[in-house]
Structure 1
Amino acid sequence: MTLLGRLLKNRRAGGTHTAWNLPNLQGPELLTLTSRQFSDGGSMPLEHCAKHVGGDDRSPHLAWSSPPSGTAQLLLVVEDIDVPTSRPAVHCLALIDPAAGQLEPGALAAKQPGPGVRVLRSTIGRGYHGPAPIKGHGPHRYVFQLFALSAPVDSGPGTTPVDRARPRALLPAITAAVLDRGRLTGVFER
């Protein structure tokens, strides 16, 4: 696998196609998103990485500043922007009750999410999927993006229920106004 990683070293999705850059998810950038496990731009501990790379596949603690008045729902999108594909890989997609204030470690689990958390489909499956970059590919950035929405995501029209929608179809279809947003980036390398 190290050879494959070296061969693909210069192929990276980049940040252009992240949820953060979608026209419908633009808004003020006043939410402060933090974690007890890593600082912005810092290394993610192994426990928050995928099991097949030696981790526990357990989502990290996340906390945020108070969302603005009128926030109906929070949308959390976690993307690997260094995956060697044309678009970032969505590692987690979740809807969160704005009253939650923070998520304890493991709160994004597919089978037993934390209080006020509704996990949706990601590129990989449902729930949180920790970092597992190709060995030798170099550092990968995992961008945790939090959006304060003026209306619940599942309140608008659509043909596919929100729980079954693929991220690349769901994210551009969100019509609720973004009242505020914030992000936090963790890094992991094999």
Structure 2
Amino acid sequence: MIPSFERVFGRLLRPVRGHDADLLCNDPRLAVAAGTMQLTSPAFAEGGDIPSRYAGRGVGENVSPPLAWSGVPAETVELVLVMQDPDAPLPRPVTHLVATDIAVDSEGVEEGMLRPETNPQIAFLPGSLGRIGYEGPRPIRGHGPHRYVFQLFALARVLPALDDVMLPELASGMAGWVLARAVLTGIFELI
């Protein structure tokens, strides 16, 4: 069998990885003095494999996984959810999801509810590829396992309208207002 160009390219790039320091949850402006939440999924465990159903276009069904959270501080006025891949062979993590204006009394989202057409109550901002809403894992074939980091932030203020804002501007708007945060990491690999 002749290896695909993508697989050969992925193997060549295997040592090239992004940096965890550039994940939104590691931005020092979003540090939390106290307060933690829990973020889980019935579809995969912390550090476990993300089922292929939730993988991106051309690989899976590109359906967002169900997520559950608890421990949201009482003074929270907005929740923000971001999903990033820090293992992409790029200078910064690839952002697969940016969701804001999530109801503070919610306890999670059901499967498939992280897209504008399935959940108009949530505001979605463009990810790294300019797409709006959930974009599932789709690493380069042969590049090795990639971590997909779901990050939930509880804010003490409502963010202003953020049409077409990118992640650095979002982080600036969140700075100083994070009450608590939670992280859930899943793994996905294309061999």
TM-score normalised to structure 1 length = 0.91
> Which 4+ runs in 1 deviate beyond 3 A?
none
Confirm or deny: 8 A CA contact 2:56 2:137 kept in the other structure: yes
5+ residue gaps in structure 2?
1-5
Q: Map 1:1-190; keep pairs closer than 5 Å.
A: 1-27=6-32, 28=34, 30-53=36-59, 55-95=60-100, 96-113=102-119, 116-124=121-129, 125-154=131-160, 161-190=161-190
Q: Distance in 2 between matches of 1:128 and 1:17?
A: 20
- The residue type equivalent to 1:143 in the other structure is V
Q: How many residues align?
A: 182
Tell me the distance in 1 between the aligned counterparts of 2:162 and 2:142. 36
Residues 118-141 of structure 1: CA deviation (Å, up to 9, x unaligned): 222111210000000000000000
Local SS of the residue matching 2:68 = strand
Following the alignment from structure 2 to structure 1, what is the Cα–Cα distance between the partners of residues 49 and 88? 17
TM superposition shift of 1:19: 0.4
Q: Structure 1 regions of 5+ residues with no counterpart? A: 155-160
Identity of aligned residues (%): 38
Note if contact 1:59-1:108 (Cα within 8 Å) is conserved in structure 2: yes
8 Å CA contact 2:35–2:73 kept in 1: the answer is no
**CA RMSD of the aligned region, Å?**
1.4
The aligned amino acid for 1:179 is L
Q: Deviations over 1:32-77 (max 9, x none)?
A: 1000100000000011001211x11111000011301110001101
